[in-house]
Amino acid sequence: MGMRMAPLLMMLACSSTPKLTPDTTAPPTSGVTWTDVAPTLASACTRCHSDQGTASFRPFTHYADTAPYAPLMAEKASRRAMPPFGPQLSDWCPTDFHWASDVRLTDGEVALLQAWSDDGAAEGRGAPEPLNVPTDVPVFTGTNMTLTAAEWTTNPNIADQTICFILDPGLTEAGWLEGVNVVPGNLTVVHHAGVRMDYTGEAEALANDEGWYDCTGGSGVAMEYLGTYAPGSGPSEVPEGAATLIFPNTKLVLSVHYHSIPNNPVVDQTSLQLRWAEAPPERLALLMHWPNPPTLPLSAILRPGEDDPDGEPKLLIPADVAHHTETLAVQGPGTPDERYEIYQISSHMHLVGQSSRIWAEHPDGTIQCLGDLPNWDFNYQQIYRYQSDALPVVPGGSTFWIECVYDNTLGNEPLARSLAERGFTEPIDVSYGSGSFDEMCMFMLGIVKVQDP
């Protein structure tokens, strides 16, 4: 099957090959040893790959443990799959956005890891062992409420499990929220987490008497994200002078993805810090995600594609298709004489997903990329926040687009593993839904109107 792209996107360069992060340091091309790569590993890898991290099964704090993985590390780093971070520079989106909590490696660091692998991963002399493990925690100031989830004990026989905890901020009237910060109780098993708003009570109805339910593979409810957590990420905050409106009786859903340790049940109790505004803000921070039933269902924003049955737009990914594309478009708020800042973006797919692109089409037809995310991984879901001093600005009335690309073949390793676990030997047709064997093409934007001076 040929690749399908939105007409507007075809005007742009189609290459999505990641560009390396600029770096003026020229690394050595030979003779590279453990001593040379140790600083990069300590700063970029050991937060997870250590006895204290969620990748404790593969620590990179000692040479003997790390050297066998040098080729894999070089391969993952060269295609920007590790450290995990969605947005990348590319020919399609060459804008060097300033991202908060940016863990991407530089050109020099990637080249250094490659040279170390090519040279046989020699040890050298003088590198300290064990390597330093970062323990710094991003600062979240002004906390005026802390909610604590129920205690959870991981099951050593289940490698990955996501639990949704219902948290009640006790809102009897509307509140204005400036930021949230997830505080893991046990860093060795909390892989990542998300915070969402349950306006309707649907998620709460799924919970047991202890206030949680198993949401592995999907929450089962359409909810808006407030923030996310991953090791080393910072708090989720809106721009200065803005806040998000939270309706009365809203519950917060803290979804925690646990990566268990074999033969070792581990107890965790993660908490959520919140900062509420003392008064209505100067600006309203809009958290917009699409599709958003029932106000804006998929059928209203899905664009036609060549695999649609009977010519009607439908999110349907045929079995054994390695590059299937779906595209959504939705009208943003405001009028062309107004300006809006974008402070965060995110996309969401399931196991068939491979990559996504998010962009804005201005009322005059100008195309503005907002993020190229070429390495979708269901196990590393985050919201990506622009630094506050470099927020993209779009005119009101812009149309926001997302393109999602899927691989529904056995060459997609996460999908193949999941199929095998469920007794399937071949891929199956996949359509829209919230289950792990369904698919989505969802995107989220944080938007704030720019005030006139």
Structure confidence by residue, pLDDT tens digits, 149-176: 999 999 999 988 999 999 999 999 999 9
Q: Is 113 helix (H, G, I), strand (E, B) or coil?
A: helix
Query: Taking a C-beta distance cutoff of 8 angstroms, is the pair 416, 424 a contact?
Result: no
Q: Please tell us whether the domain made up of 145-279 is placed in CATH 3.40.50.1000.
A: no
Tokens coding 11: 């005007």
Do the domains at 145-279 and 286-449 have one common CATH topology?
Answer: yes
Q: Which of 11-25, 325-339, 399-413 has the lowest mean pLDDT?
A: 11-25
**Which strand (E) or helix (H) includes residue 73?**
helix 70-78
CATH topology of domain 286-449: Jelly Rolls (2.60.120)
* More confident site: 49 or 5: 49
Check pLDDT > 80 for residue 249. yes
Mean pLDDT, residues 415-421 taken together: 90
Domain borders along the chain are 19-118, 145-279, 286-449
Cα–Cα distance measured from residue 303 to residue 79, given in angstroms and rounded to the nearest whole number:
30
* DSSP-assigned beta bridge partners for residue 255: 164, 194
List, as one string, the DSSP characters of 116-131. HHHTT-B--S---SSP
* More confident site: 440 or 363: 363
pTM: 0.80
Tokens coding 234: 């910072």
